[in-house]
Amino acid sequence: MLHRRLLRLATAAAGPVLVCAALGLLLSAASLAQAIALARALGHLFAGGDGTDAAIGALAWAAAFMVVRAALLRLDAPLRARCGAEVRARLRDRLVARLGELGPAYAAGARAGRVQNTLVAGVEGLDAYYTRYLPQLLVVATAPAAIVGWLATVHAPGAAVLACAVAIAVVVPRFWDATLLRRGRARWAGMSRLSAEYLEATQAIPTLRVLGAGRRVGARLAERADRLYRDTMAQLRVSLVESGISALAVHGGTAATLAVVAGAALNGGLTPGDAFLFLLCARESFRPLTDLSAAWHAGYLGLTAVDEIEDLFAAVPAVTDRGERRPPPCQPPPDVRFEGVTFTHPGGSAHPALDSATLRCPPGALIGVVGASGAGKSTLADLLARHHDPDAGRVLLAGHPLPEYRLADLRATVTVVHQEPHLFHASVADNIRLARPDATDEQVRRAAGLAGADAFIGRLPSGYRTVLGERGSTLSGGQRQRIALARAFLGTAPVLVLDEATSHLDRETERAVTEALTSAPELAWRTRLVIAHRLDTVRHADLIAVLDRGRVVESGDHEHLMRRDGAYRALVHRQRGPGPSAERADPPRPEAHR
């Protein structure tokens, strides 16, 4: 139960642990004082004669300690609850900060349900470990030894028997710990797996329905839930054996101590008062152990969750944050360069996602990136946001390699809008204000207007105050993309990357967004990298780069590339069909984009 990682984490909760331990010790001291006063009262009553007054005095003391103990007990639950809340908040802060450090590279490999289970149930379990088990362990380490030591000054043989009984009650149940822990870990792993699968199935209900796979997935979940039930029962059986042995040691130890003490009292080696002292204090020396046993069961969930928490802390972030360079100035906006960049996603295919890719985005230019699916376009965006570092080559911002900047500064400089943006269960306005919480209503409207979102937001039940469903589930794909674009347009990052960010928009809206990108004063000054499948989206870019299997195979503006019989022209023909009619169908070129 004294896990290295849990003890290291205890530094985050040292205050609450010590407060709970101090309360536990005070409770033990009050119980012991009450027991001693009661034993003295019984001793005086047993002695009879003029001991009655002394017995009344001792009873008064016992009553006083009882009141103190009751007051401490009254304090116990709220204090532990408050300490527990503090422990949970501190641990979750640390875990969430850790998840932030690990970034999207970790999230891509982890199952959301498992992480959620660790953050919710795991932390709940650790709360009991820190506010009940560890403090009680400190009480067990001090109180029984102190009581037995003191009793040894009264009657050494009786104290020796009591010491043996306490040792047995502490040590013997520990033989079951390993088994219990093994079963607990199996149960926790099952619970995490089940959480992950339930979360996935809940999110996939529409897909499961249309594919008629609901029953099959439901049966698999039921089978997993049944296995979890069986694991829980197996664990409970071992746990009951362990509790039984603890109880046996406590009661057997008390009986053995009393037998020795009663024998001594009958032989005249011990006064009745001292015999009562043993009777009541033996109980008090075992009380911390029985409390520890109860705390063990409460805190043990945390112990079984510790593996996943440990995994989280042991995971190595995909990138380090050691840069110290000042962020690049916004005006003029920084240029971006990819120099011979090679990168293979961890666990991805053997072929690198980017293979000696070289590309320059001059300050304030609009660069289009096109290529077939899987060509490596999004990987460019990932590397520019520094979710990963290249295996070879460099990505430079304003002439300096990205690792020279602090991650926070880099992320304030480069904004990426993804194809499937994440919207929060919050109002439309709050979603748009994510990167710039102090933006005025007017600025929010303007950004939404540039993203082609103002009109549809106006038709929502409460306009900009409409609260969205989780992950924007109450909006269409195109509406979600428009809100994400508005969010990025409202921000002030001088480098803007749109990674298929307009793919769900109808052509007309997409054209309006493209035009805003080239002509709106809020956007046209920035260095813009637009990744697109639809070639119309990037047709007016200052430079278009064509990616093919991780390599930049061609670059130039639209006219230049169309004059060559290369990859770009092949893409154009594949997308629209050959012939001059396709060319005529293109929109007039906006004047301001240059």
DSSP letters, 373-387, are TTSSHHHHHHHHTTS
> Which lies closer to ligand ATP via its Cβ, residue 180 or residue 361?
361
Stretch of 44-52, 143-151, 152-160, 373-381 lying at the interface with ligand ATP (CB under 6 A): 373-381
- Closest Cα to residue 250, out of 154, 135, 157, 162? 162
> Which lies closer to ligand ATP via its Cβ, residue 84 or residue 352?
352
Residue 333: C-alpha distances to residues 258, 366, 487 (Å): 85, 12, 19
> Which lies closer to ligand ATP via its Cβ, residue 254 or residue 379?
379
Stretch of 141-149, 345-353, 515-523, 557-565 lying at the interface with ligand ATP (CB under 6 A): 345-353
What phi and psi, each to the nearest 5 degrees, are found at residue 481? -60, -40
Pairing assessment for the beta strands 366-371 and 543-548 based on DSSP bridges: parallel
Stretch of 53-61, 215-223, 374-382, 427-435 lying at the interface with ligand ATP (CB under 6 A): 374-382
> Which lies closer to ligand ATP via its Cβ, residue 419 or residue 466?
419
> Per-residue string for binding with ligand ATP, 106-135, x by CB under 6 A?
--x---------------------------
> Which lies closer to ligand ATP via its Cβ, residue 260 or residue 531?
531
Nearest residue to the partner ligand ATP, using Cβ? 348
If one asks whether residue 504 binds ligand ATP (CB under 6 A), the answer comes out as no
Please work out, in degrees rounded to the nearest 5, the angle formed at the alpha carbon of residue 95 by the alpha carbons of 89 and 97.
100
- Closest Cα to residue 12, out of 131, 107, 105? 131
Residue 208: C-alpha distances to residues 200, 221, 493 (Å): 11, 13, 40
> Which lies closer to ligand ATP via its Cβ, residue 349 or residue 581?
349
> Which lies closer to ligand ATP via its Cβ, residue 242 or residue 554?
554
Provide the 8-state DSSP code for 325.
B
> Per-residue string for binding with ligand ATP, 375-394, x by CB under 6 A?
xxxxx---------------
CA 63, 64, 66, 67 torsion-angle sign? positive
- Which residues, 6+ apart, have CB-to-CB distance to 400 below 8 Å? 325, 328
* Number of other CB atoms surrounding residue 325 within 10 Å: 16
If one asks whether residue 348 binds ligand ATP (CB under 6 A), the answer comes out as yes
The nearest distance, CB 345 to ligand ATP, in angstroms, is 3
> Which lies closer to ligand ATP via its Cβ, residue 128 or residue 545?
545
If one asks whether residue 90 binds ligand ATP (CB under 6 A), the answer comes out as no
The nearest distance, CB 546 to ligand ATP, in angstroms, is 11
Q: Is 217 exposed, middle or buried (0-12, 13-18, 19+ CB in 10 A)?
A: middle
Provide the 8-state DSSP code for 212.
T
Cα 369 from chain centroid? Answer: 35
Q: Within a 13 Å sphere around the CA of 593, how many CA atoms are in the beta-carbon half?
A: 22
Stretch of 118-126, 254-262, 372-380, 579-587 lying at the interface with ligand ATP (CB under 6 A): 372-380
Pairing assessment for the beta strands 414-417 and 495-499 based on DSSP bridges: parallel
Q: Which of residues 13-32 bind ligand ATP (CB under 6 A)?
A: none
> Which lies closer to ligand ATP via its Cβ, residue 347 or residue 579?
347
The nearest distance, CB 169 to ligand ATP, in angstroms, is 53
> Which lies closer to ligand ATP via its Cβ, residue 110 or residue 312?
110
Binding-site member from 208, 249, 303, 353 for ligand ATP (CB under 6 A): 353
Binding-site member from 302, 371, 472, 494 for ligand ATP (CB under 6 A): 371
- Which residues, 6+ apart, have CB-to-CB distance to 38 below 8 Å? 58, 59, 62, 276, 280
- Answer for the pair 537, 508: CB distance below 8 angstroms, yes or no: no
Total residues binding ligand ATP (CB under 6 A) = 14
Provide the 8-state DSSP code for 269.
S
Binding-site member from 347, 399, 580, 588 for ligand ATP (CB under 6 A): 347
The nearest distance, CB 341 to ligand ATP, in angstroms, is 12
Whole-number Å distance between alpha carbons of 266 and 269: 7
* Number of other CB atoms surrounding residue 327 within 10 Å: 17
The nearest distance, CB 500 to ligand ATP, in angstroms, is 6
- Which residues, 6+ apart, have CB-to-CB distance to 352 below 8 Å? 342, 343, 344, 391, 550
The nearest distance, CB 498 to ligand ATP, in angstroms, is 12
Binding-site member from 269, 332, 374, 393 for ligand ATP (CB under 6 A): 374
Please work out, in degrees rounded to the nearest 5, the angle formed at the alpha carbon of residue 256 by the alpha carbons of 254 and 261.
90
If one asks whether residue 345 binds ligand ATP (CB under 6 A), the answer comes out as yes
Stretch of 180-188, 273-281, 329-337, 368-376 lying at the interface with ligand ATP (CB under 6 A): 368-376
- Which residues, 6+ apart, have CB-to-CB distance to 189 below 8 Å? none
> Which lies closer to ligand ATP via its Cβ, residue 108 or residue 259?
108
Residue 151: C-alpha distances to residues 277, 280, 282, 439 (Å): 8, 11, 9, 72
The nearest distance, CB 108 to ligand ATP, in angstroms, is 5
If one asks whether residue 461 binds ligand ATP (CB under 6 A), the answer comes out as no
> Which lies closer to ligand ATP via its Cβ, residue 84 or residue 371?
371
> Which lies closer to ligand ATP via its Cβ, residue 82 or residue 351?
351
Site residues (vs ligand ATP, CB under 6 A): 108, 345, 347-349, 353, 371, 373-379
